[in-house]
Amino acid sequence: MSSVLITGASQGIGRAIAVELARRGHRVIATARRPETLADLPVDQRLRLDVTDQDSVDQAIEDAGEIDVLVSNAGATVRAPLESVPLAEVERLFQLNTLGALRVTQAVLPAMRKRGSGRLVFVSSIQGRLVLPIIGPYSASKWALEAIAETLAIETGHFGIKVSIVQPGAVSTSGAGKATAFFTDNDPYTPLHQQLGTLRDAAVTAEEVAATVADTIEQPEPPLRVPAGAPAERILKARKEAPESEPFMPVRLDW
């Protein structure tokens, strides 16, 4: 069984991944900015790790011991039109969703490379391959994450390191509901925002995503990109087949 470090394990997908991997007998190192939120998880270690803080990352990796698999899951989102989203919020998302994942990856890679084996699993989104209005900053951070992950697959494959990108669609967690929204009074983009709920009709559970992550880890030769659930497979297939001459939307919005 593998020794697996998971970032962002306090809730949602990260917590479900920790539970699923522990159930399958893996040694799980669950991490979060507030380790007290991990107290009830049935895992081997619970560590503080803030992916935006280099000292925190270095200390957690040292305390974790040997790591066979890194699951980069920590992330957040916002709701705002690009015309008016605060740039500080866009920067925050990139620091967490993109650079945070790279920061932890840089911390675990030297040992994996010297050992000649390791797994890097990035929890991305279908929005790493397409965009949704009002969630553009999140999409941008995930597109950048997928570029980093694919580059890592090329650069580190020679050293026995396997990289996978898990791509859920809508997930039935509290993450979307907790997302900070930035809209002005009588905002002209509010009607568009109000229609985004139609995209969540085909939501999968965090447990379904966790099973996909665990299956990917346990595959001898995992694929680079792994859609999580039938809705994600369907939307990503439609995106691949769509013309590049116009923007792609998975559903028609009244806009």
**79 touches 128 (CB < 8 A):** no
Residue 138: active-site member? yes
Which residue among the candidates 96, 99, 138, 165 is catalytic per the annotation? 138
Distance CA 213, CA 17 (A): 7
What number of residues does the chain have?
255
Q: Which residues contact 183 (CB under 8 A, 6 or more apart)?
A: 79, 80, 81, 84, 189, 190, 193
- Give, as one character, the DSSP assignment of residue 171: B
**124 touches 167 (CB < 8 A):** yes
Distance CA 9, CA 123 (A): 12
- Give, as one character, the DSSP assignment of residue 246: S
Q: What angle do CA 165, 62, 213 make, to 5 degrees?
A: 20
Count CA within 13 A, CB hemisphere, residue 143: 10
The residue behind tokens 């570029």 is: 147
Q: Which residues contact 49 (CB under 8 A, 6 or more apart)?
A: 7, 31, 32, 33, 56, 57, 60, 104
Residues with a known catalytic role: 138
